[in-house]
Amino acid sequence: MARKPLVEVDLERSPKHIAVIMDGNGRWASRRGLPRLEGHRRGYKALKNLLLAAADLNVKMITAYAFSSENWRRPADEVGGLMKLIAHAAKVELGYMKKEGVRMMASGRLHELPKPVREQFEQDIEETRNNTRIILNIAVNYGGRNEIIDAARKAAGMVAAGEITPEQIDDKLLSSFMYHPELPDPDLLIRTAGEMRVSNFLLWQTAYSELYVTDTLWPDFNKDELIKSIVSYQGRTRRFGAVVEEGSKK
Ligand code: IPE
Ligand code: IPE
Ligand code: MG
Nearest ligand 1 atom to alpha carbon 29:
14
Q: What average pLDDT does this structure show over 157-182?
A: 98
Is residue 249 scored above 80 in pLDDT? no
Range with lowest mean pLDDT among 2-6, 51-55, 68-72: 2-6
What's the burial of 115, exposed, middle or buried (CB within 10 Å: 0-12/13-18/19+)? exposed
Question: Which residues have CB under 6 Å of ligand 1?
Answer: 22-27, 67, 71, 82, 193
* 172 part of a folded domain: no
* 126 part of a folded domain: yes
Our count of domains for the chain comes to: 1
List 56, 58, 71, 131, catalytic entry: 71
71 is catalytic: yes
pLDDT band at 5 (very low <50, low <70, confident <90, very high): low
CB neighbours of residue 79 within 10 Å: 15
Nearest ligand 1 atom to alpha carbon 30:
14
Range of the domain at 91: 13-142+186-234
Per-residue model confidence (pLDDT) at position 73 = 98
* 28 part of a folded domain: yes
Cβ neighbours of residue 225 under 8 Å, at least 6 residues apart? 214, 216
Q: What is the pLDDT of residues 184-203, one digit of tens each?
A: 999 999 999 999 999 999 99
Higher pLDDT, 19 or 244: 19
For position 84, which CATH number holds? 3.40.1180.10
* 91 part of a folded domain: yes
Rounded to the nearest angstrom, the distance between the alpha carbon of 24 and the centre of ligand 2 is 8
* 99 part of a folded domain: yes
Rounded to the nearest angstrom, the distance between the alpha carbon of 45 and the centre of ligand 2 is 18
Is residue 51 scored above 60 in pLDDT? yes
* 32 part of a folded domain: yes
Is residue 46 scored above 70 in pLDDT? yes
Rounded to the nearest angstrom, the distance between the alpha carbon of 27 and the centre of ligand 2 is 12
Cα(63)–Cα(107) distance, rounded to whole angstroms? 9
* 19 part of a folded domain: yes
**% of the chain beyond a pLDDT of 90:** 94
Q: What is the pLDDT of residues 63-90, one digit of tens each?
A: 999 999 999 999 999 999 999 999 999 9
Is residue 40 scored above 80 in pLDDT? yes
Per-residue model confidence (pLDDT) at position 3 = 61
23 is catalytic: yes
Q: What is the pLDDT of residues 99-126, one digit of tens each?
A: 999 999 999 999 999 999 999 999 999 9
Per-residue model confidence (pLDDT) at position 245 = 79
H/E stretch holding 228 reads helix 223-234
- The answer, yes or no, to whether any atom of ligand 2 lies below 6 A from the CB of 23, is yes
Rounded to the nearest angstrom, the distance between the alpha carbon of 229 and the centre of ligand 2 is 20
* 165 part of a folded domain: no
Q: What is the pTM of this model?
A: 0.96
121 contacts 106 by C-beta, under 8 angstroms: yes
Q: What is the dihedral of CA 30, 33, 38, 40, to 10 degrees?
A: -10
Nearest ligand 1 atom to alpha carbon 22:
1
Cβ neighbours of residue 101 under 8 Å, at least 6 residues apart? 131, 132, 133, 134
Is residue 247 scored above 90 in pLDDT? no
Rounded mean pLDDT of the chain?
96
